[in-house]
Structure 1
Amino acid sequence: MKAEDYLSFVDAWEGRATIRTRPRRIVENDEKLIYPLSRQPLVLSETFTRECAHLRDLALVQSLYKFINDVVIFETEIVDKTARSIAKDNFAIRFPFACRYDAMTVVVDEDYHALVAMDFMQQTIALTGVQPISLPEEIELSRAIPAALALAPDHLRSAVELICVAIAENTVTNDVAAFAKDDTVKQSVKGLMADHLLDEGRHSGFWSRLVRIYWHAAPQQDKEVIAQILPVFIAQYLTNDIQKSFDFVLIDSLPVAEPIKQALREETQAMCFPINRHHPLVGNIMRFFTASSMLDSPCVQHALADYLPAGGLQ
């Protein structure tokens, strides 16, 4: 895809962006879950089910707070930074005005998502009376992007940043989609996720197209250097170290005896997905590499061989 072939989605944004079209989401005082059980395996563990079932909702509220905290960090510190740089034409890779205009709509959307998330968190605190425990000050991307940039020569740092953000935006879109379909959670939470998804679907396509534009014009030597950095980024991005640390803080906050806490810690320690082709988010990441045309390059196929389907590309 060439830069001159890019078409802005300005009409779609004006007609469908959640900041333009969606009402405020008000958290309901009903019996439905405030956070999906499937997204917090701790509450499904043997010890928790046996010893702490009465604390399930408390654990889910704290897990929602952590999720909201992650959203705010992701939107305001990571996506906003790159999108704003592109929009203001301060990015090392130059894009035409149509791309830069769309990048500014991404800035507006992401900051609005953060605002809505903060509002929902305050509503939940008011409804439940549960104050957040200590929340992480960073997310996996806070470590993964700098790790990738550290491996890039100066002239490729912006390209690597662009690709890392694009991977994350495409991954979160599919993750939010699964969240929005969960019928066990409150309607306001589902609505919050559905609103987010409506914007993120547009964003994921935006980032994929920008990477296609860059990749189309990139010299082969640069592609080969970037390809070698991708596995480092993915391995850092897919770790669960921050989530595990949060779960330990959550366990420590539970009003139960120390032997129960220790059993919960041991079960949590054992909960992790291997970082390979079977990790649940790898499929989303590979779809991005296909959509962005990066996976058409043999150097990328070779670098990502451990993440590709066992039979290779069909």
Structure 2
Amino acid sequence: MNAADYRPFATDWEHRATIRTRPRRLLENDDKLIYPLCRQPLVLSASFLEHCPQWRDFVLVQTFYKFIHDVVIFETEIVDKTARGIAKNRCSIPFPAACRYDAMTVVVDEDYHALVALDFMQQTLEQTGIAPLELPATIELSRAIPIAQAQAPAHLQDAVELICVAIAENTVTHDVAAFAKDDSVKQSVRGLMADHLADEGRHANFWTCLVRLYWQTASEEDRRCIARVLPIFLQHYLTNDLQRDFDLRLIEHLDISPHARAALRVEVNALAFPITHQHPLISNIMGLLRRSGLLQTPCVAQALNAYLPASGSPS
């Protein structure tokens, strides 16, 4: 693929973008969940079910607040920044005008997603009366991108940022899709996620195309350098440290016995996904790297060998 092959999606955006086509969604006052049980293992743990199942809804609401807060950080502080830099031609990688225009539609979408997320947070507070606990100031991506960039020379800073954001946008699509399909969750929340997914699918393709355009022009030395950076980025991006720390703080706000609190801490500290090819998001990440041409590059395949299936084949 070269710049002449890039297919703009501006027309598709005009007809399909949620900011153009969706009404405001209102949180229902029904008995459905505000957050899927399967996405907060704490409430499914043996200790929680034994000692404090009555705290389930409180934990789910607080976890929903964190999810919403993370979305706002992701959309406004990370994706918005990268897309806006491309749109305003401030990125060191030269992209054609059609890409820059599409990048601005991504900016609009992401800021709208953040607005809708804040609306849902306020609706949840008004309906439940449960105020959010202090929420983390960063997400995993906030830390992972600067760490990855620090491993690369100055002229590759923008390229590393582009690839990291593309990886994140492709993984969040998978994450939101799973959320949107859970019938146990309130219809408005599922609708919120479905709306988000409608835009994120387009964004995922956009970022994939941009990475593919860049990769075709990257020198062999730059490719080798980026290959060395990718495993470092994945280790910091896929960690569950921030979620674990949040869950541990959440436990401190439960009115339970010291024994139950200690048991819950043990459960939370035991929850971790090893960052191997079996991690639930790795297949999506490898798919993005394959579609954008990175994984067919020997140095990248070698650098990420630990994340590939046993055959090690990038095909």
Task: Give TM-score scaled by structure 2 length.
Answer: 0.99
The offset of 1:312, in angstroms, is: 2.0
The offset of 1:257, in angstroms, is: 1.6
**Contact 1:134/1:249 (8 A) holds in 2:** no
The match for 1:24 is 24
| Separation (CA, whole Å) in 2 of partners of 1:281 and 1:49 | 28
| Separation (CA, whole Å) in 2 of partners of 1:285 and 1:150 | 21
The match for 1:182 is 182
Q: Which amino acid aligns with 1:139?
A: I
Summarize the alignment of residues 37-48 of structure 1 with structure 2, pairs less than 5 Å apart.
37-48=37-48
| Separation (CA, whole Å) in 2 of partners of 1:5 and 1:179 | 34
The match for 1:219 is 219
Provide the aligned C-alpha RMSD in A. 0.7
The offset of 1:255, in angstroms, is: 1.2
Deviations 1:33-82 (A, max 9, x none): 10000110000001100111111111000000000000000000000000
The match for 1:197 is 197
| Separation (CA, whole Å) in 2 of partners of 1:43 and 1:234 | 28
| Separation (CA, whole Å) in 1 of partners of 2:37 and 2:255 | 20
The match for 1:295 is 295
The match for 2:265 is 265
Deviations 1:172-212 (A, max 9, x none): 01111111111110000100000000000000000000000
Deviations 1:230-264 (A, max 9, x none): 00000000001100110011100111122211110
Q: Which amino acid aligns with 2:284?
A: N
The match for 1:91 is 91
- Identity level (%): 64
Contiguous gaps of at least 5 residues in structure 1: none
- SS at structure 1 position matched to 2:255: coil
The match for 1:81 is 81
- SS at structure 1 position matched to 2:307: coil
Q: Which amino acid aligns with 1:238?
A: L
Q: Which amino acid aligns with 2:107?
A: V
Deviations 1:108-131 (A, max 9, x none): 000000000000000000000000
| Separation (CA, whole Å) in 1 of partners of 2:301 and 2:197 | 29
| Separation (CA, whole Å) in 2 of partners of 1:92 and 1:261 | 51
The offset of 1:4, in angstroms, is: 2.0
Q: Which amino acid aligns with 1:210?
A: L
| Separation (CA, whole Å) in 2 of partners of 1:100 and 1:262 | 52
- SS at structure 2 position matched to 1:306: helix
Deviations 1:143-187 (A, max 9, x none): 100000000101111100100000000010111111111111000
| Separation (CA, whole Å) in 2 of partners of 1:170 and 1:293 | 15
The offset of 1:136, in angstroms, is: 0.5
- SS at structure 2 position matched to 1:100: helix
**Contact 1:83/1:104 (8 A) holds in 2:** yes
The match for 1:235 is 235
Task: Give TM-score scaled by structure 1 length.
Answer: 0.99
Q: Which amino acid aligns with 2:20?
A: R
**Contact 1:223/1:299 (8 A) holds in 2:** yes
- Runs (4+) of structure 1 exceeding 2 A deviation are none
Summarize the alignment of residues 1-314 of structure 1 with structure 2, pairs less than 5 Å apart.
1-313=1-313, 314=315
